[in-house]
Amino acid sequence: MLSILSRRKFLILAGASATDYTVAWGRQRRPRSLVPHFHIPLPIPSVLRPVRTDNTTDYYEITQREAEIGILPGLRTQVWGYEGMFPGPTIKARRGRIVVVRQTNSLAVPTVVHLHGGVTPPDSDGFPTDVIMPGQSKSYVYPNDQRAATLWYHDHAMHHTGRNLYMGLAGLYLIEDDQEAALPLPRGAHDVPLIIQDRRFEADGSLAYEHGIGHRGAKGDTILVNGVPWPRMEVATRQYRFRILNASNARIYRLTLSSGQRLVQIATDGGLLPKPAPTRSLSLAMAERVEVVIDFSIYPVGAQVVLQNLDGKGAMGEIMRFDVVRRESDDAVVPEILSDIEPLSENAALHTREFIFGAKPKFGRLSVAWTINGKQFEPDRPIAQPRYGDVEIWRFRSQRDFGLGMLHPVHLHLVNFQVLQRNGEPPLPHELGWKDTVAVNRGEDVRIIVRFEGYRGRYLLHCHNLEHEDHHMMARFDVS
């Protein structure tokens, strides 16, 4: 099943030489220098075609299966992919049209599918215990009764979400609507998804998944964009829209351009901002999305602009490169007003609830359980039961204790929320608009406001550091 394990045994038995490799945790590591930066062209995940459509609904079929693909030069990597692809195919949905995805599990492990950012009925939302067993199928129904936004679908299996995503089970899901389609933003080939992930590989090219000490999170030494390491993208002298998703297990990025040019942010998790927000750098925690417009018309042909990560050192400080290769005219415009967002009023809130994200040591110092309000995930017991239609303020605090304080990207299923305050201050510019995930760093205190609507039933609140999530930093809430 996991070729990682058999390969490791093989290397130990064969007594493979360690001279050329970094040896950590007893494994043979590929030397980082083998992966050249900015050589591989950026691929775009293909858009999945429906197998059938009718007046109301588009029907899709996806098989989750193993595949051997080329990620590192000269090596093969086994992945677990939707349709065997890494990342999975993109689904394009239209507001008001239903999407039904029949997922078939051809892997050797149980899986669950969640549409992150989706306003989804509970039986299609991917509760961690609602598994598809190997050889089985399940149809997920997505009504798409929500505004245009960049969503993503990914695995959500109990205790194994981190491993399953690391192996490849994630893809984009884009919702369009009439309002957004009417704007003169860059579109078609100039509307480009960038899925950023970090991975670690064995010497033979296989993926090396590790929780990190104390389940701090699986981090890699190689940055992938749309599944390839440190790619390059050829661009023309015009504007492009980039939909950027941080699909990493446990790494945060702070995006900036090497040229000093500002990124013009136009959207966040839940779609367009009220107005464009130019910024020199943007923090993107796990599961967050931002959309930015970059205007390459300010550069001469031949210019090279690196998308950098100010949060990373050395190789991890670079993400990809844009090579300006040709002149092109441009009729795209970023309007001054992008969308209409009604701020939820604090006066409307009927309850304030507090959630403390912390940890407790387990079996000595090398293991911890990550907790919410001191509790581990209990699938049968809701931590909160907001009433349908109610507005509530939820306050998220990240503990500092035990030296275990970490960043926790806090995510709610079902709803989008607005950030009210971060440490008593107004939210960061990139957090205005609708969000479904908010970064709460060590010692921070973040207040959000949310209306519970869409569906009644069983949903989740959890940290999107996937190793924290798998090791209990998750809670059920019920909309009643």
What does the binding site for ligand C2O look like in residue numbers (CB under 6 A)? 114, 116, 154, 156, 287, 411, 413, 460, 462, 464
Q: Which residue, 144 or 237, is less far from ligand C2O as judged by CB? A: 144
The least CB distance from residue 348 to Cu ion, in Å, is 24
Is residue 142 classed exposed, middle or buried when 0-12, 13-18 and 19+ CB atoms within 10 A define those classes?
buried
Choose the contact partner of 154 out of Cu ion, ligand C2O, none; CB within 5 to 8 A by kind.
Answer: ligand C2O
Chosen from Cu ion, ligand C2O, none, partner binding at 372 (C-beta under 5 to 8 Å by type):
none
CB 448 within 8 A of CB 411: no
Phi, psi values for residue 159, rounded to 5° = 65, -5
Minimum CB–partner distance for residue 117 and ligand C2O (Å): 8
CB 47 within 8 A of CB 92: yes
Nearer to ligand C2O, 95 or 114 (CB): 114
> How many Cβ atoms are within 10 Å of 96's Cβ, its own excluded?
13
- Residue among 175 and 320 whose Cβ is closer to ligand C2O: 175
Closest residue to ligand C2O, based on beta-carbon distance: 116
Binding-site partner at residue 468 among ligand C2O, Cu ion, none, CB < 5 to 8 Å by type: Cu ion
408 binds, among Cu ion, ligand C2O, none (CB under 5 to 8 A by kind): Cu ion
462 binding Cu ion? (CB under 5 A): no
Please give the full DSSP string across 210-235, using - where no structure is assigned.
---GGG-----SEEEETTEES-EEEE
**Does the CA dihedral 426-429-434-439 come out positive or negative?**
negative
| Cβ 126 to ligand C2O shortest distance, Å | 7
Q: Per DSSP, what are the bridge partners of residue 114?
A: 154
User: Which residue number, 154 or 190, has a Cβ lying nearer to ligand C2O?
Assistant: 154
Kindly provide the b/e burial profile for residues 385-419, where b requires at least 16 CB atoms within 10 angstroms of the residue's own CB: ebeeebbbbbbbbbbeeeebbbbbbbbbbbbbbbb
462 binds, among Cu ion, ligand C2O, none (CB under 5 to 8 A by kind): ligand C2O
With 0-12 / 13-18 / 19 or more C-beta atoms within 10 angstroms meaning exposed / middle / buried, residue 14 is: exposed
Cross-strand partners of 299: none
The nearer residue to ligand C2O, 156 or 447, going by C-beta atoms, is 156
Residues in 100-129 at the binding interface with Cu ion, rule: CB under 5 A: 116
List b or e across 98-108, with b for residues whose CB sees 16 or more CB atoms inside 10 angstroms.
bbbbebbbebe
Is 35 a binder of Cu ion (CB under 5 A)?
no
**What distance in Å separates the CA atoms of residue 377 and residue 154, rounded to the nearest whole number?**
19
**Distance (Å, whole) CA 147 – CA 180:** 9
The answer to whether the CB of 34 falls within 8 A of the CB of 42 is no
Minimum distance from residue 153 beta carbon to ligand C2O (Å): 9
| Least Å from the CB of residue 413 to ligand C2O | 6
Short-list 85, 415, 74, 364, CA closest to 226: 85
Nearer to ligand C2O, 197 or 206 (CB): 197
Q: List b or e across 234-246, with b for residues whose CB sees 16 or more CB atoms inside 10 angstroms.
A: ebbbbbbbbbbbb
Considering only 256, 289, 465, 472, the residue that binds Cu ion (CB under 5 A) is 465
Which 234-253 residues touch Cu ion, going by CB under 5 A? none
Contacted by 460, from Cu ion, ligand C2O, none: CB < 5 to 8 Å by type: ligand C2O
Q: In this chain, which of 30, 243, 435, 468 binds Cu ion, going by CB under 5 A?
A: 468
Nearest CB to Cu ion, comparing residues 244 and 463: 463
List binders of Cu ion among 372-431 (CB under 5 A): 408, 413
Q: Is 463 in the site for Cu ion (CB under 5 A)?
A: yes
Q: How far apart are CA 437 and CA 287, in angstroms?
A: 7
| Tokens linked to 387 | 């009433």
| Cβ-based nearer residue to Cu ion, 338 or 384 | 384
Q: How far is the CB of 468 from Cu ion (least distance, A)?
A: 3
| Contacted by 465, from ligand C2O, Cu ion, none: CB < 5 to 8 Å by type | Cu ion
List the single partner that 195 binds among ligand C2O, Cu ion, none, CB under 5 to 8 Å by kind: none
Q: Smallest gap, in angstroms, from Cβ of residue 141 to ligand C2O? A: 18
Give the chain's largest Cα–Cα span.
68
Residue in 436, 456, 463, 458 with CA at minimum distance from that of residue 448: 436
Q: How far is the CB of 250 from Cu ion (least distance, A)?
A: 8
29/154 with CB nearer ligand C2O: 154
339 vs 437, which CB is nearer to Cu ion? 437
Q: Partners of 447 in the beta sheet?
A: 395, 421
Q: How many residues bind Cu ion (CB under 5 A)?
A: 6
Q: How far is the CB of 375 from ligand C2O (least distance, A)?
A: 17
Residues that bind Cu ion (CB under 5 A): 116, 408, 413, 463, 465, 468
